[in-house]
């Protein structure tokens, strides 16, 4: 299986600004932010894309959304946008499932 840049971030082989981690998910700042706050939530279980989700892995996108919701509540972020890019035609460059979290509000520690 081809290793993506997000595999390497998950394995701590390359640095990232991690904002949240638990047994299921890693969240870190996007290196090229397109909003005041631009985070990426990735599952620790690898799936390449929404296009590759199966009945066995269908819980993962919902899990990422719940983690993003919890993060926003804990950080006092009221409004945000969540997006999945799907495949090249959908603007997906990194073939490791990830949820974009964008907000014009700032995380309080920033």
Q: Are 52 and 78 in contact (CB under 8 A)?
A: no
Q: Are 78 and 96 in contact, with CB atoms under 8 Å apart?
A: no
Q: Is 52 helix (H, G, I), strand (E, B) or coil?
A: helix
Lookup result for tokens 């269908």: 58
Q: How many residues of this chain interact with ligand 5GP, rule: CB under 6 A? A: 13
Nearer to ligand 5GP, 30 or 105 (CB): 30
Q: Which of residues 41-60 bind ligand 5GP (CB under 6 A)?
A: none
Q: Where are the alpha helices (DSSP H) in the chain?
A: 5-10, 59-75
Annotated active-site residue 98? The verdict is yes
Interface positions, 20-39, toward ligand 5GP (CB under 6 A): 28-32
Count of CB atoms within 10 A of residue 103's CB?
19
Nearer to ligand 5GP, 31 or 58 (CB): 31
Question: Quick one: which segment of 53-61, 72-80, 90-98, 102-110 binds ligand 5GP (CB under 6 A)?
Answer: 90-98
Interacting residues toward ligand 5GP by CB under 6 A: 5, 16, 28-32, 40, 85, 91-94
Active site residues: 98
């Amino acid at each position: 299986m081809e290793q993506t840049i997000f595999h390497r971030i998950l394995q701590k082989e390359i640095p990232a600004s991690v904002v949240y981690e638990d047994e299921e998910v890693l969240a870190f700042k996007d290196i090229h932010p397109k909003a005041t706050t631009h985070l990426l939530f990735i599952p620790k279980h690898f799936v390449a894309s929404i296009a590759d989700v199966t009945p066995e892995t269908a819980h993962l996108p919902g899990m990422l959304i719940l983690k993003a919701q919890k993060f926003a509540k804990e950080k006092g972020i009221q409004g945000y946008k969540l997006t999945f890019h799907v495949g090249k035609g959908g603007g997906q460059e990194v073939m490791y499932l990830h949820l974009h979290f964008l907000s014009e509000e700032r995380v309080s520690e920033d």
